[in-house]
Structures are given as C-alpha cells and as structure tokens.
Amino acid sequence: MTGAASQSPSKSARTQNRWIVSLLAVLAILGPGLIAANAGNDAGGVLTYASAGSQFGYRTLFLMVLITVALVVVQEMCSRLGVYTGEGLGGLIREQFSARSTFGALSLLLIANAGLTVSEFAGVGAAMQIFGVSQYISIPIAAAAVWGLTVLGSYSRAERLFLVLVLAFLTYPVAAFLGHPNGKEVISNLVWPHFLATQSFLVLAVALIGTTITPYMQFYVASAVVDKGIKPADYRSERLDTVSGAIWSDVISIFIIIATAAAIGGSGPLQSARQAAEALKPVVGPAAPALFGLGLLGASLLAASVVPLSTSYAIADATGAPRSVSASFRQAPLFYGLFTLQIVVGAGIALSPGNLVTLVVNAQVLNGIITPMLLTYILILANRKSVLGSAVNGRIFKVVATLCVAIVGVMSFVVLVQTVASL
C-alpha cells in the first residue's frame, strides 16, 4: 500500500510534466501561421470587410465561409512545403519550374505585394486621419518606423507591439452581438448563398478573396517556418498553428461584416475609416473612432512589415541570396534592399491625393485577380511526390485544393473580362 501510494504522486507528476513539455513545444512553434493569417486582417482586409457589410449587408457571409475553407487548404499546403523541404516558395518554384515560369511567378508576386504595400500605408493614413493627423505626416513617419524596426531594431518586438494594437478588432465580435443584427438573416446568409448577379457584387467578392487569400501570406508562412527552423517531426503542432490561425482570422472577418451590416448596412460602399468605426459604437460609444483607429494603425503597420518581407523572402529564395530578419544589412543586402525599395515606393504612392478607402479596396481587387495564378504554382508543388515525398497531397485533399483554386480562378477571370470590357 505504501509503495503504491508513493508511486502515484510520481506518476502524476510525470504526466503533468509531459503536458507542460507538450504545451511549451506548441507555444514555441506557434507564430508563423497565426501571424501570416492575421496579418491578412490588415487595412485592406478590415476596410474591405466593412465595405462588404455597408454595401451588401449580410449577403457575403456564405462567400466568407467558402473562402475560409480555401484559406485553410492553401495555408496548410504552404506551411507543409516549407517544413518538409526546408525551402521557401521562391526557391521551390526556381527548382521545379523553368526560368521563365519563375520570373513570371515572382513578377506577379511583386505586382500584388506592391499594391498591398501601398494599401497598408494608405491604411496608416486613414487611421491617423481619425485623430486629425494629415497623411502627409503620418505615412512618412510610419515608413521610417517600419523600416527602422525591421532593419535596425528588433523586428520580433515590433511584431508583438503591432499584434497588441490589432487586438482592438476583438471588439468586433462583441459589437456584432450588441449591434442587434437580424439573427435569422445572419444564420441564413451563413449557411446558404444570397448572392447578387451584379458586377459590383462580383468585384467585391473578388476583393474579399484577394484580401483573405493573399499571396504574401503563402510566401511568408513557407519562409517563416524555415527561418524558425521547424522540422517535420514538429509539423503536427505547426499545422495546428496554421489551421487555427486561418480560421481565427476569418472568424474575426465575418464578425466585422456582421457588425458593419448591423450598423450601416445598405448605405453603399464605405467612404471613410471613420464610417467603418460606426460598427463599434454599441461597444465603446463615442470612443469607437479612436479604438478603431488604433486597431487599423496596428494592422496596417504589421502588414506593412510582413508584405514587403514576403517579397524579399521569395526573391532572395529564388536567387539563392541570404534572407533572414536575424541577419544584418551587410549580410543580406538583396533581402533588405528589396524591403527598403518596397517601403519607399509604397509609402510614396500612398501619399498621392484621393480617397484612401477606395485605393485600399481597389488594391484588393488587383490582388484577387493575381492570386489564382500564384495558387496554381503552390498546388502543383504540393501535388508532386518528388517535392514532398510521403507528405504529398492525398487524393481527397488534392480534389478539394484543385476546386478551391479553380473557383477562385474563374471568378477572377470574369472580373478581369468585365473590367477590360468596360474600358
């Protein structure tokens, strides 16, 4: 009896220690997938989701459910490619495709990310306008801060600061309930499509795809897991990070649409960041613009760092040049040089006169048109046993992934045709 009693606490302690070790292992890996997906809730994301709610009410909710499935599938493939090959997407494309195909893929990524970088700095300008600060002051300061923190300072600390500011958007789920949305309409639109056969609805649908399944997220997560040194043995935890991050970010997106639809649904396209803040009034009252402004600022600054970094990762990977945020400028001149160029050009274009919200949403439409072309490369890589070995896409996963890419491609092609025809 005494011996059995003395062994019980020891066994319990060992079990508890195993749980602690497992938890610490998961927490050590969490990051790349969560950051990549939630960086998608950037200026472009928040303002596009809010514009969907203000323009079409709850009608885009079912579309967001489908987009969430596609995002999970795509992000998981990219994370798996990075972990099992030890290479970023840029390097894999260079190895598996012709030089012309590699140049085409990286050119598409550069164009898409250039538009997004502009939209992030436009988001900074829109956020600071809420506080009465001119975009001609806020955007240059933000550009200098993002560059300095990434190249000269501690990017990881800046990343955590920006993520804290983004927590302001956690008020959207609360606002979605306190705004007294029509529950029956919300559920109906979540489980069944209520699409409109209009060009404006289709264009916004492509913008939602472009802002949710953004190429920079795919290139970033594949390179980030390599940079962090995550190995195949740790992939189960990394997959949890990737999948949960994708779902979490889209749940917040759905709540943004619901809250905005309940507050200003049917009022037409979003005209300003302050208008998007109206949805938060049920939660924080008169402080809604300030809280929204802080959240939009944090989201914009986070993505203004991540988007250019994803381009730098991809191009450095493709050329075999050193690439890491842990390296110095002298050790990785191409990596940081590309990052610097994108910051300067993006901030410069964002300073041009015009409606900042319109600029942001249009950038997401451009991204939505480019996205399916880049997703095709990712799908082919994840289907090749010569690349992933036993971790290659399974039969069912391959079918689901192909359908996701095909549907996104068809929608983007239709919008492109309509846009060209209207010129």
Answer for the pair 314, 113: CB distance below 8 angstroms, yes or no. Answer: no
Answer for the pair 281, 264: CB distance below 8 angstroms, yes or no. Answer: no
- pTM confidence score: 0.83
- Reported as a pLDDT band with limits 50, 70 and 90, residue 64 is very high
Mean pLDDT of 26-51: 68
Q: How far apart are CA 279 and CA 295, in angstroms?
A: 13
In b/e form, how buried is each residue of 330-344, taking b as 16+ CB within 10 angstroms?
eebeebbebbbebbe
Beta-carbon contacts of 117 under 8 Å, excluding residues fewer than 6 positions away, are: 304, 307, 308, 342, 343, 345, 346
User: Does residue 17 sit within a domain?
Assistant: no
Predicted confidence (pLDDT) at residue 2 exceeds the cutoff of 70:
no
User: Which pair of structure tokens corresponds to residue 286?
Assistant: 């008169």
Beta-carbon contacts of 411 under 8 Å, excluding residues fewer than 6 positions away, are: 202, 205, 206, 209, 368
Share of the chain above pLDDT 90, in %: 32
Q: Which amino acid is at 316?
A: A
The CA-to-CA distance between both ends of the chain, in Å, stands at: 88
Mean pLDDT of 189-206: 90
User: Does residue 199 sit within a domain?
Assistant: yes
Concatenate the DSSP letters of all residues of 213-246 into one string. S-HHHHHHHHHHHHHTT--GGGHHHHHHHHHHHH
User: Does residue 85 sit within a domain?
Assistant: yes
User: Does residue 243 sit within a domain?
Assistant: yes
The string of pLDDT tens digits covering residues 130-177 is 999 999 999 999 999 989 888 887 666 666 666 676 677 778 888 888
Predicted confidence (pLDDT) at residue 266 exceeds the cutoff of 90:
no
Helices (DSSP H) in 277-355: which residue ranges? 281-284, 288-319, 333-350
**281 or 223, which is more confident:** 281
**224 or 280, which is more confident:** 280
Domain at 200, CATH number: 1.20.1740.10
Beta-carbon contacts of 316 under 8 Å, excluding residues fewer than 6 positions away, are: 90, 322, 323, 332, 334, 335, 338
Q: What is the pLDDT of residue 313?
A: 79
- Up-side HSE of residue 269: CA atoms within 13 Å toward CB? 15
User: Which pair of structure tokens corresponds to residue 351?
Assistant: 């300073």
Q: What is the pLDDT of residue 28?
A: 46
**CB-based burial of residue 420 (10 Å sphere; 0-12 exposed, 13-18 middle, 19+ buried)?**
exposed
Phi-psi region of 214 (alpha: psi -120 to 50; beta: other; left: phi over 0): beta
Concatenate the DSSP letters of all residues of 133-201 into one string. --HHHHHHHHHHHHHIIIIIS-HHHHHHHHHHHHGGGGHHHHHHHHT---HHHHHHHHHS-----SHHH
Answer for the pair 296, 315: CB distance below 8 angstroms, yes or no. Answer: no
User: Does residue 4 sit within a domain?
Assistant: no
Number of H helices, E strands in the chain: 20, 0
Q: Based on the structure, what is the number of domains in the chain?
A: 1
- Reported as a pLDDT band with limits 50, 70 and 90, residue 26 is very low
Phi, psi of 214 (to 5 degrees): -90, 135
User: Does residue 37 sit within a domain?
Assistant: yes
Closest of 232, 248, 315 to residue 71, by C-alpha: 248
User: Does residue 19 sit within a domain?
Assistant: no
Closest of 370, 415, 416, 358 to residue 119, by C-alpha: 358
Least confident of 7-11, 87-91, 207-211, 374-378: 7-11
Predicted confidence (pLDDT) at residue 9 exceeds the cutoff of 70:
no
Q: What is the pLDDT of residue 219?
A: 83
Phi, psi of 341 (to 5 degrees): -60, -45
Q: How far apart are CA 158 and CA 249, in angstroms?
A: 20
The string of pLDDT tens digits covering residues 329-355 is 888 888 889 999 999 999 999 998 777
The residue range of the domain holding 354 is: 33-421
Least confident of 6-10, 96-100, 295-299, 321-325: 6-10
Closest of 234, 378, 370 to residue 314, by C-alpha: 378
Beta-carbon contacts of 185 under 8 Å, excluding residues fewer than 6 positions away, are: 57, 58
Mean pLDDT of the chain: 83
In the numeric block, the tokens 């391959």 are attached to 398
Answer for the pair 76, 92: CB distance below 8 angstroms, yes or no. Answer: no
The string of pLDDT tens digits covering residues 91-109 is 899 899 988 888 888 888 8
Mean pLDDT of 31-57: 78
User: Does residue 209 sit within a domain?
Assistant: yes
For residue 64, the tally of other CB atoms under 10 A from its CB is 24
Q: What is the pLDDT of residue 65?
A: 94
Helices (DSSP H) in 30-98: which residue ranges? 32-38, 43-56, 61-85, 89-96
